[in-house]
Amino acid sequence: MIRVRACAWDDLVGQKRAATYLRRAAEGDAVSHAYLFVGPTGTGKKTAARALACALFCDDGACGSCGTCRRIRSATHPDFHLVAPEGVTYVVSQIHDVIHDVNLKPIEAPRKVYVLESVDRFNDASANAFLKTLEEPPGDVVIILLAGDFDDVLPTIASRCQVVRFSPVAPSTARALVVERTGASEDEARAALAAAGQVMPRAIDFLNSTGRRNARAAIMAILKRLIVMDGHDVLVAARELLTAVRAPVEEMKGAQAEEAEEAREYLSKGVAARMEKRHKRELTAYERDGITEILSVTESWLRDCLVMSRDMPELVNNIDTADATAEVAAVISVPAALRALECVRTARERIAYNVSPQLVVEAMLFDIQEVLRCPR
């Protein structure tokens, strides 16, 4: 029986039930060949998959700090595979590659772990190609599928897995954990969670990133003066804002270069190529997340105006801008605040449809300005 120490599982916060279930399976050598982890973004599905791999690979009981555990965490261990759809959906050729790989022997570890993200993005053809492997992988393989919502996963896939559910963390718990992990104040944690769409790990990353905090400061500065800005001001501000949003992407490039440098010694060609692919994917996602974050900050600020206008200051998320919020709250009507919030929703949709971020932000600022100027 493997003794599992706490460390790698420590990263999995606020998910006691899932963690206990998986640790018991690992300790009792009763790990299933296929899992489906289901839960909203930021609830720790990927972290749990890593912890489980640590429990299976690490000689020191998922210590979280040895070379094996560190390489699992950075997805550079040759027997730990993180797979994401290469296109809008998983395509058959990608699934064939995975199946081919699954049937190879482990390189270092006693077993191999495959983590497939966003499995709600299988289509019928790629799902059919995968079913047999999912049902009966080689004995040394564990397949972990991740999805946001159980109902979006094809039943043929879901029925072949043990389902583990990850639940949203209560706001007060999330705040306490952010404070504990970053040393931020309660108010800062609240603002960070609002910027991060209430996703706790993102809020923690936000507080640790000077660039992202600067981007938040930039949009707040614009919102505070938006009502008095002329058209030219708005365009210039939008351009500067986008520059601020892109700065953290450069930070991330630096971190990736460090990771690649550190990993160079022990990486095989195949794993290095995979890491490079992952880095590219991460950069694209990170840039998009930066824009999304700006929209979330805007939304939370407008919500603050709304709750202040209803005299519910305890619901304000951005205490640092409370003065400006109060000024708007004094004049804005509920329908106008809702109209302003609608502008942010439209911007989100445009980003999802790949409209240029510059155009989206400009249009959103002009739309919100119009509402703020006629706040009835």
Q: Report, in Å, the least distance between residue 77 CB and Zn ion.
A: 11
Q: How far apart, in whole angstroms, are the C-alpha atoms of residue 38 and residue 45? A: 7
The nearer residue to Zn ion, 107 or 334, going by C-beta atoms, is 107
Q: Report, in Å, the least distance between residue 53 CB and Zn ion.
A: 10
Task: Please name the residues in contact with 304: beta carbons below 8 A apart, sequence gap of 6 or more.
Answer: 315, 316, 317, 318, 321, 322, 325, 329
The nearer residue to Zn ion, 27 or 60, going by C-beta atoms, is 60
Burial 119-143 (b: 16+ CB within 10 A, else e): bbbbeeebbebbeebbeebeebbbb
Q: Report, in Å, the least distance between residue 57 CB and Zn ion.
A: 8
Q: Report, in Å, the least distance between residue 68 CB and Zn ion.
A: 5
The nearer residue to Zn ion, 61 or 148, going by C-beta atoms, is 61
Which of 351, 309, 304, 358 shows the shortest CA–CA distance to 329?
A: 309
Q: Report, in Å, the least distance between residue 69 CB and Zn ion.
A: 3
Number of residue whose CB is nearest Zn ion? 58
Which of 136, 93, 86 shows the shortest CA–CA distance to 116?
A: 86
Which of 162, 85, 81, 158 shows the shortest CA–CA distance to 126?
A: 85
Instruction: Kindly tell me the burial class for residue 254, based on how many C-beta atoms sit within 10 Å of its own C-beta (0-12, 13-18, 19 or more).
Output: exposed
Residues that bind Zn ion (CB under 5 A): 58, 60, 63, 66, 69
The nearer residue to Zn ion, 66 or 176, going by C-beta atoms, is 66
Q: Report, in Å, the least distance between residue 6 CB and Zn ion.
A: 12
The nearer residue to Zn ion, 68 or 369, going by C-beta atoms, is 68
Burial 62-98 (b: 16+ CB within 10 A, else e): bbbebebbbbbbebbbbbbbbbbbeeebbbeebbeeb
Q: Report, in Å, the least distance between residue 65 CB and Zn ion.
A: 6
The nearer residue to Zn ion, 5 or 165, going by C-beta atoms, is 5
Q: How far apart, in whole angstroms, are the C-alpha atoms of residue 165 and residue 19? A: 10
The nearer residue to Zn ion, 47 or 298, going by C-beta atoms, is 47
DSSP class of residue 122 equals: B
DSSP class of residue 94 equals: H
The nearer residue to Zn ion, 50 or 303, going by C-beta atoms, is 50
Q: Report, in Å, the least distance between residue 111 CB and Zn ion.
A: 15
Instruction: Kindly tell me the burial class for residue 61, based on how many C-beta atoms sit within 10 Å of its own C-beta (0-12, 13-18, 19 or more).
Output: middle
Q: Which amino acid is at 162?
A: Q
